[in-house]
Structure 1
Amino acid sequence: MAAANRTARTRMLGWALCAMLAGGVTPASGASTAMPANPASGADRAGACTPARPVVWPRWEQFKRDFISQEGRVIDVGSSDARTVSEGQSYGLFLALVANDRPAFDAILRWTENALARGDLTSHLPAWLWGRSESGQWGVLDANSASDADLWIAYALLEAGHAWGERSYTARGALLARRVLDEESATVPGVGLLLLPGPSGFHPAPDTWRVNPSYSPPQVIRGIATHLPEDARWARLHASTLRVLTDTAPRGFAPDWARYRPAPGFVPDAETNATSAYNAIRVYLWVGMLNAQDPDAATLLSYFAPFAGFIAAHGAPPETVDTTTGVAGPNMGNAGFSAAAVPFLDARGETPLADAQVARVAELDSRNAPGYYTSVLTLFGLGWRDGHYRFAADGTLNLPWSPSCSAAP
């Protein structure tokens, strides 16, 4: 019990310290100090914000009924181990914030912290996999963390701290974000600061690093940099993101996985045969949701034009593509793939193609109830199209229900 009390006190002191720093108070003197001139930063934007109205979002309510337990666990229903992945918890947090659903946000956060991060997100990166073991026991199945989930959790916490005026969210988000940089990135010759998929297992040889391009949503990394401008590493990480996205996709199709060596650079991943599939579909989603004024938006929308071209020719996104040749497999992607393509097509001005993908989502969903991942992609893609959220040019989040707290468009 004494150890538990010490842990709780340490956690609360860490939150308080981070909150003081975010608010411009130095712990040495307690005096208020001027923050850097950055009106969109999380520190300057934080404050008491009163939500204007609840959000009516039937898809979110359905997702909660289908996939989120009362305790806040996002469940991959139908998987053999009834698994929960940290990715699902991170998406649940973000979507609950977009929905202005603070009870769900708090439940998801509490379960994530207690079950995946040993009770403290500021001291431990969350384990990526939790579920039922072969012996029937419930718990962490793989303690390694996943950097994409950790980025989204940190981002959701920083934005929730602003939107709901809750500095404990801001504090936890800032400290978790720092752990991503400290434990899940590496300074790599020829690239700079590179996001690794996790702290263990992705540096298989002294001259080799394994990457997952979909783990690097440019607006999330830019947004965290905006919230935490005092840590220059975020700007460095964002600078490498454009190269990761483009250099791993020589034919304009993003791979699920790739490898980097100083010579020859980014190369196909032997384990996954350079395939573009269920990871890579998120790359087009992130790119499509970039603000039009984002400095990377035009470049990326043009670079991945072959993805839009395939949809125009075949009526749907491909399920798989050989990224070394640009040749697609025989099957079309599911409803989630179409939903993920909608922002990308809209951003390119190809509205009729985007409309057709929305119709395809409805048609496929009418045949079979969508699973966890399809539902997530649909919430992201169609939630964006329906105007439930937007990313500002600086990566911060615009929420219609909180107009007084939103970043400038």
Structure 2
Amino acid sequence: MTMHRTRRHHLVQLARLAAAGAALLAAPLAACAAPASAGKTAPAAPCPWPLYQQFLSRFVQADGRVVDPSTPAQHSTSEGQSYGMVFALVANDRATFDRLWQWSVANLGSGNLTDKLPAWQWGRRNDNSWGVIDANPASDADLWFAYALAEAARVWRAPAYGDAARALLALAAKQEVVTLPDFGTMLLPGPQGFVDSKPDGVRTWRLNASYLPVPVLRRLAAFDRNGPWGALAAQTPKFIEAVAKQGIVPDWSAYRAGGNAAGFITDPDKGDLSSYDAIRVYLWAGMTPAADGASRTLMRALLPNAQRMEGRAAPPEKMHADTGAIEGNGPPGFSAAMLPFLKAAALPSLAPALAAQRARAEAMVDAPPGPNAPAYFDTVLGLFGLGHFEGRYRFSPAGQLEMEWEQSAKREGPCRGKAA
């Protein structure tokens, strides 16, 4: 009897999840309970964003340093600083935006980021001093920095941010963009260490698909019309289509040319593993507007991985592109990253998966401090994935941010956010 009641209970719960997921696929999110202004224009005040406040309190120092406390070096990265600036922009938090940028200039650029790209890693060195650990720039952070600055210049009407963005883009175009034989324009992960040339003329380029969010490239292409960003936006779906096997994109890929052939191969160093880097590929694809021509190619190439979520409690922590093997359950941030992707897939069969991953991701919000609190990277993925899913921001087909606080001010209506 108990077994039958338990089975009925699970069936009821599954039906509820399916209904909730179907509603999410079909309808916009409910608005928060914030009241509309009466008879006057609403101020451009930040909408309440609990996960952003959690990010600030746990991972951002007063001086503007974004810290990942889970690492032995207690390090900060150019990626973390640039992401933090995007979140501050979405939250209409200019004071934090400026602190993060100023810390980055002072510490990742030795006081100047007009003549150099920011160092990738800063933290506690082996001799217990603090400073740059790895000076090699990371190209994804360089593009996100430029994107945040370009959008801040537009939204906050502050041209100085735009000047800083142009300086970064000029350096990135010169040092981090290459032409692959028989393929075309591509972004290296950094200026040094990603091209291997052999005496026999064979060359191998190591690449990272998660470094190429199409909406960011679209915006940079309009902002810097003489740069390679439009070409990169066109190449990105082709790249992902070429390396995705069974919908699985590896963290790292390689392109080899020389001899009698040129083409993509399994990365010689990292193999076919898909995990903490590649999870962002699905996130960026899900956030790419359907009106962007790249969206169809990206979703077609990655759709098998959306279907792989049917019946799973969590996204896999590790997948292998060559074999299709999967291992373990990913952390809550993986669930948040999958929300825009599962929603964009728009398959009724994925409704329970969407509802389940949403519930898992939302458990991070306002989680109490302690050993079970969301880690730094989970929180970052949560801000991107949940923030987009809740309607706090969108990308236009041209790559511009469409932020809820702007829309609330224009329509004199409430902020949107976590649905009841």
TM-score (norm 2): 0.81
Query: Is residue 71 from structure 1 mapped to residue 63 from structure 2 by the alignment?
Result: yes
What is the deviation of 1:362? 3.8
What is the deviation of 1:339? 0.4
Paired AA for residue 255 in structure 1: P
Paired AA for residue 253 in structure 2: A
Match of 1:359 in 2: 359
CA offsets per residue over residues 302-340 of structure 1, 9 Å max, x none? 2111211121132321111110121212x0111000000
Match of 1:234 in 2: 229
Count of residues in correspondence between the two structures: 355
What is the deviation of 1:264? 4.1
Change (3 A) 1:183 1:286: same
- Segment of structure 1 superposing worse, 59-68 or 117-126: 117-126
Query: Is residue 181 from structure 1 mapped to residue 173 from structure 2 by the alignment?
Result: yes
Conserved? CA contact 1:163–1:405, under 8 Å: no
After superposition, the CA RMSD in angstroms is: 1.8
Change (3 A) 1:343 1:185: same
**After superposition, where does 1:211-222 map in structure 2 within 5 Å?**
211-222=207-218
Query: Which portions of structure 1, spanning 4 or more consecutive aligned residues, are displaced by more than 3 angstroms?
Result: 362-367, 403-406
Segments of 5+ residues of structure 2 without an aligned counterpart are: 1-41, 411-420
Conserved? CA contact 1:118–1:124, under 8 Å: no
Paired AA for residue 296 in structure 1: A
Conserved? CA contact 1:83–1:131, under 8 Å: yes
Conserved? CA contact 2:249–2:321, under 8 Å: yes
**After superposition, where does 1:10-409 map in structure 2 within 5 Å?**
52-205=44-197, 207-229=203-225, 231-262=226-257, 263-329=261-327, 331-349=328-346, 350-363=350-363, 368-403=372-407
What is the deviation of 1:404? 10
Alpha-carbon separation, structure 1, partners of 2:232 and 2:409: 27
What is the deviation of 1:119? 1.3
CA offsets per residue over residues 164-223 of structure 1, 9 Å max, x none? 000000111122112111111111211211100000000012521000110111111111
Paired AA for residue 208 in structure 2: N
Alpha-carbon separation, structure 2, partners of 1:387 and 1:351: 19
What is the deviation of 1:138? 0.1
What is the deviation of 1:399? 1.4
Match of 1:29 in 2: none
Change (3 A) 1:153 1:364: closer
Segments of 5+ residues of structure 1 without an aligned counterpart are: 1-49
Conserved? CA contact 2:181–2:262, under 8 Å: no
Alpha-carbon separation, structure 2, partners of 1:113 and 1:250: 40
Paired AA for residue 220 in structure 1: V
Paired AA for residue 355 in structure 1: A
Alpha-carbon separation, structure 2, partners of 1:404 and 1:221: 27
TM-score (norm 1): 0.83
Q: % of aligned pairs identical?
A: 44
What is the deviation of 1:160? 0.5
- Segment of structure 1 superposing worse, 345-354 or 260-269: 345-354
Conserved? CA contact 1:87–1:149, under 8 Å: yes
